[in-house]
Amino acid sequence: MRRAYGYNVVTMPVGPKVESDTFQCAHCNATVFIDAKEPSPWCSCCDAQWCGQTKCRQCTPFMRKVERAESEALNRTRLWREADNC
């Protein structure tokens, strides 16, 4: 069974409000609404829940993507500073 980390209430102009538990995908950080009828998508590589979309099948945790982007930005900053000192 999936573990819920959040709770969401969707209200539309017409119709009843829909209440659902949610979690964040470990690979793309998307909010996923939990449906008890569907099987639980669980990544055995990073041991976390994921959304089940094809773009997330290759295990690259979202925080690793953030850390990589921060590292690249820091490297670009260092290169620009070195170029300015020449």
Question: pLDDT (tens digit, 9 = 90+) per residue, 16-57?
Answer: 888 888 888 889 988 888 887 877 688 888 888 888 888 888
Q: At 72, is the pLDDT very low, low, confident or very high (cuts 50, 70, 90)?
A: very high
pLDDT > 70: percent of the chain: 92
Distance CA 31, CA 59 (A): 17
Distance CA 82, CA 84 (A): 5
Determine the 3-state secondary structure of 6 from DSSP.
strand
Q: What pTM does this model have?
A: 0.65
pLDDT of residue 73: 94
Q: At 68, is the pLDDT very low, low, confident or very high (cuts 50, 70, 90)?
A: very high
Q: In what order do the strands lie in the sheet with 6-10?
A: 6-10, 18-24, 31-33
